[in-house]
Structure 1
């Protein structure tokens, strides 16, 4: 492990120690570098590894500054923690270690207990700020989720963005509340018993305000990515780049008390080093946990079906604690809607859903027609807690041309079935903000680039992206403020009519998952699944010790019959989605006997446990 990183404190950018500012900027090819303040400039001294440093009392917290390279060009600090003037403006010096934390008794939740709720700061509340989010924590507690997953907050151009166009990985978006606002949110979450997962992007940088290349070889032409040259994790001068991102991970955990990171699209990280950057990150996070006594989790978005990423370090894996599995979503979506365009064309529906319940990956060595190759390996030894599943998320909603949620695409009954299919799974369930009350507002793609040519390129790119889905019509203008405003949650609906009923249904499902041992324990070996492709029914049977739970699902639009399992002589009802209390029409039997034939209502899920 590299020895240029200090576990106990941030060592790049500007930091404050004992009343002095410690400045350390990586720019290996520069001839000179200085900090330019309002009324003075401070020259830095270069060391052997391309870092420019000084310790001084002439910089104070709150000071605005830029960095001047070779007495010519001025740029914001690439390791800035705050950009109050936006991506092109001056950086603000921040004492990142200074905050009056009240969460000393908090030490994260076991990953296996996470019930995730993905949200976007700008559209989750009318105000679109961390402070406004704090006011909704009691609502989330009432729902029953215990971990929020926040889409990226690294400073991006303007005030409207999904966050994946961030260009300052260390700086917290100023329009959301900046670094102080995020710390207050995390502290408040911990007081409520809610873990905080932060989405971070280490596979690319956004185009506008991306000045990293001016400081050094942060990018390499050795690899091509959808965003251009790859971030330099294994080419010449990569050590400074690797340190930069490792420092970023440690800062979120140590200085912001973040509980877990979700790393965006790690399959797009290009690194053929003997020690992959993800493995090196995990080694440093383990060291940090030993130093602080706090547990932190690393979750990745991965499109490779490659267990090397999530296998333990001692098995020569990268040690990631978990991953998103889009394939569960795709199989579930095709089963529910019959969609067959784009990447959905690889999925047959209920047979693949049954396989994902059992094997996590749908493709674990078979031929993929969409990818035009044999794809994936088996994930036999990986526990259920390593997989995050969902019926929708920001990608699967917002990357539709019109941003439709499942509330618009499927019936009310099917929405309940989808919820049950996710929350009864042997994996970590994740909800996307608003689905718990059937939010009708679409979640569309939006940006606020100030470069007109770039904005037009984004519009054009969106149109081309949907060609594979044979989408008709025009995509909403991603640059329009109206697109952003129309993507906000409508909180007035939560306590109204069918929206209130849906909320109560989700609440009941989450409670069952927490209380029923067979649902709570994510033992993939204690699971059986069977299905009838013609009838579109699926039986998911899970157990823990003496308790057995069966989840009977009917994805068809007709009544279907299914035979009860014989593992118990009697079964007692826990929940039925088609009953009047959930705005359905039919009561389900309170009990039934082993082997008895059961009549399932259309688009429904019923859950029973052994008596």
Structure 2
């Protein structure tokens, strides 16, 4: 579909079942609206080979004699309001990506990641220049906010106009290919964020593409009844129409094959499958099943992630059992209790029961739940990043550092696929504004907060080194809501680990006891209060401890603990 390059020319093919005529105009025919008519195939499709047309030339379809339309399958755009550009490429080299339970994801927004008020938005090439930084951090997957063509340059990307064309202001398809190559060369996989719950709504030539529509709605690519309604406009694709299903399926497979990306994150799947979060769209469920089956067939190693946030296990159940077939889903049950616990102002208001439930929540396979404390949504839409939410006057204060890193330590020791958001590792303050120009990162903080960056590196390395931390296995065996302490047991085979989290501004100097899962010395392998992470940390605790007789927390033995305020200590038991 679209512009298909062959030796000596280009074939053009487009779907326009209600059109009376379709031609193609472009650089190859002096932009004539009539010189190059397409033949009606009789099945709603129109096509023609154009000898002499070549890569790099601009074009548009002309529908019904006067409507100049961008190619729905356009692989490269001048802009969201410009011409389509004939484009062809070979795929960049792929890599072997980690198993799902071994993944650690870094979510970033291309336009703000390396931009500045002096240089403007950043591009794919700028992010590629940070590939070594990302590798050194230790994460093994990067997830980009949507990079499909959108209006202007000032956007998060959740308003796509041309879903096959990488954003021109970011560097277009050539830039995306170079970014994939740069990350792959460092052993880091890449996940793209795709938006199928709506399209546009502005700068969208798909709207009434061939002139037909019903109920004053969008025409052939969209539902033309109550199902069109979404929180972003009446532009939900018609998942029941075969050609639209094919369009979305082709798009998902295009990124996996042509750019060799390693996964797809589907935006708000609950708004694919439901209208107003309540009324089911059966065709949407079968669409997701079909595309996930196709992903498995085309690139079985790729991860398909749903942002569903409804805690529905059927999202990750196999299609053979009736599930949607996703490999993982974002975990709303983790982020809100943990984020609330670290950001709440008064210790007395922190709810350890909620945190314990967040650690233990399971809908399906726990290793198929993407867990996080920050994401573009959780630090956007008026919500601050944790350091600023904790201390708005001074997001670099002791309290902000201690409690935000408390959240990080819980994240990287919990079961699931951990994800962090850009700048989380160096305490980027503020909130993720709807205006990209207010979101530029302060890269000076990498040096200023080098110790905090090192803590993130240590937590990531810890998770890589201990299979118990990557397993499904967890028992939250100690929940002390009065003193704001929790402890949980992680294990894998004979490997046993205990994680102790102090959510209060109180020091425990060997005068706190918890149950102990096995009769073995606890060797401290991580202490978030180490003053190498920040000079104002106390360097307290993190010392080995041995079991003592006497049952506690339902276990046959117990142990005395020393732990600093707002800190996490991780023990390896042997």
Tell me how far apart the structure 1 counterparts of residues 410 and 96 of structure 2 sit (CA, whole Å).
30
Contact kept? 2:56, 2:86, Cα under 8 Å: yes
TM-score, normalization by structure 2: 0.87
Tell me the alpha carbon deviations over residues 426-467 of structure 1, each in whole angstroms, 9 at most, x when there is no partner.
110001011111112532112xxxxxxxxxxxxxxxxxxxxx
Contact kept? 1:333, 1:339, Cα under 8 Å: no
Tell me how far apart the structure 2 counterparts of residues 93 and 230 of structure 1 sit (CA, whole Å).
27
Contact kept? 1:563, 1:596, Cα under 8 Å: yes
Contact kept? 1:441, 1:489, Cα under 8 Å: no
- SS for the counterpart of 1:395 is coil
Q: Which residue in the other structure is 1:579 paired with?
A: 530
- SS for the counterpart of 2:519 is coil
Tell me how far apart the structure 1 counterparts of residues 410 and 487 of structure 2 sit (CA, whole Å).
11
Question: Per the alignment, do residues 352 and 17 of structure 1 end up closer, same or farther by CA in structure 2, a change over 3 Å counting?
Answer: farther
- SS for the counterpart of 1:31 is coil
How far residue 51 of structure 1 moved from its aligned partner, in angstroms, is 1.5
Q: Which residue in the other structure is 1:423 paired with?
A: 412
Matches within 5 A, 1:103-114: 103=93, 106-114=95-103
Tell me how far apart the structure 1 counterparts of residues 284 and 249 of structure 2 sit (CA, whole Å).
16
Tell me how far apart the structure 1 counterparts of residues 149 and 568 of structure 2 sit (CA, whole Å).
43
Contact kept? 1:519, 1:543, Cα under 8 Å: yes
Question: Per the alignment, do residues 306 and 423 of structure 1 end up closer, same or farther by CA in structure 2, a change over 3 Å counting?
Answer: same
Question: Per the alignment, do residues 589 and 502 of structure 1 end up closer, same or farther by CA in structure 2, a change over 3 Å counting?
Answer: closer
Q: Which residue in the other structure is 2:295 paired with?
A: 285
- SS for the counterpart of 1:219 is coil
Contact kept? 1:441, 1:486, Cα under 8 Å: no
Aligned match of 1:502 in 442, 452, 457? 452
1:13 aligns with 2:35: no
How far residue 152 of structure 1 moved from its aligned partner, in angstroms, is 0.2
- SS for the counterpart of 2:248 is helix
- SS for the counterpart of 1:68 is strand
Aligned match of 2:465 in 515, 532, 557? 515
1:115 aligns with 2:104: yes
**Long gaps (5+) in structure 1:** 1-11, 341-346, 361-378, 447-483
Tell me the alpha carbon deviations over residues 272-306 of structure 1, each in whole angstroms, 9 at most, x when there is no partner.
139611101012112213xxxx6211101002222
Q: Which residue in the other structure is 1:563 paired with?
A: 514
Tell me how far apart the structure 2 counterparts of residues 15 and 82 of structure 1 sit (CA, whole Å).
13
Once structures 1 and 2 are overlaid, which stretch shifts more, 72-81 or 250-259?
Answer: 72-81
1:608 aligns with 2:565: no
Once structures 1 and 2 are overlaid, which stretch shifts more, 151-160 or 122-131?
Answer: 122-131
Question: Per the alignment, do residues 205 and 348 of structure 1 end up closer, same or farther by CA in structure 2, a change over 3 Å counting?
Answer: farther
- SS for the counterpart of 1:214 is coil
Matches within 5 A, 1:70-469: 70-84=64-78, 86-95=79-88, 98-99=89-90, 101=92, 103=93, 106-126=95-115, 128-215=122-209, 216-220=219-223, 221-223=225-227, 224-235=229-240, 238-270=241-273, 271-273=281-283, 276-289=286-299, 295-338=301-344, 349-360=351-362, 379=363, 382-400=364-382, 404-410=384-390, 411-446=400-435
Tell me how far apart the structure 2 counterparts of residues 337 and 275 of structure 1 sit (CA, whole Å).
37
How far residue 54 of structure 1 moved from its aligned partner, in angstroms, is 1.6
1:596 aligns with 2:547: no
Q: Which residue in the other structure is 1:491 paired with?
A: 443
**Long gaps (5+) in structure 2:** 116-120, 210-218, 274-280, 391-399, 548-557
Tell me how far apart the structure 1 counterparts of residues 429 and 284 of structure 2 sit (CA, whole Å).
48
Q: Which residue in the other structure is 2:19 paired with?
A: 30
Tell me how far apart the structure 2 counterparts of residues 206 and 33 of structure 1 sit (CA, whole Å).
23
Q: Which residue in the other structure is 2:278 paired with?
A: none
How far residue 328 of structure 1 moved from its aligned partner, in angstroms, is 0.7
Aligned match of 1:531 in 479, 483, 503? 479
Contact kept? 1:443, 1:488, Cα under 8 Å: no
Tell me how far apart the structure 2 counterparts of residues 589 and 255 of structure 1 sit (CA, whole Å).
49
Tell me how far apart the structure 2 counterparts of residues 177 and 529 of structure 1 sit (CA, whole Å).
51
How far residue 390 of structure 1 moved from its aligned partner, in angstroms, is 0.7
Contact kept? 1:82, 1:174, Cα under 8 Å: yes
TM-score, normalization by structure 1: 0.82
Q: Which residue in the other structure is 1:364 paired with?
A: none
Tell me the alpha carbon deviations over residues 249-277 of structure 1, each in whole angstroms, 9 at most, x when there is no partner.
01000001110000000000143139611
Compute the RMSD of aligned alpha carbons.
2.0
How far residue 48 of structure 1 moved from its aligned partner, in angstroms, is 3.6
How far residue 49 of structure 1 moved from its aligned partner, in angstroms, is 3.1
Contact kept? 1:406, 1:415, Cα under 8 Å: yes
Tell me how far apart the structure 2 counterparts of residues 260 and 590 of structure 1 sit (CA, whole Å).
41
Tell me how far apart the structure 1 counterparts of residues 199 and 80 of structure 2 sit (CA, whole Å).
12
Tell me the alpha carbon deviations over residues 214-263 of structure 1, each in whole angstroms, 9 at most, x when there is no partner.
2242111231221233524344xx11111110000010000011100000
Question: Per the alignment, do residues 234 and 166 of structure 1 end up closer, same or farther by CA in structure 2, a change over 3 Å counting?
Answer: closer
Tell me how far apart the structure 2 counterparts of residues 488 and 386 of structure 1 sit (CA, whole Å).
32
Question: Per the alignment, do residues 37 and 416 of structure 1 end up closer, same or farther by CA in structure 2, a change over 3 Å counting?
Answer: same
Contact kept? 2:265, 2:304, Cα under 8 Å: yes
- SS for the counterpart of 2:73 is coil
Tell me how far apart the structure 2 counterparts of residues 56 and 137 of structure 1 sit (CA, whole Å).
41
How far residue 110 of structure 1 moved from its aligned partner, in angstroms, is 1.7
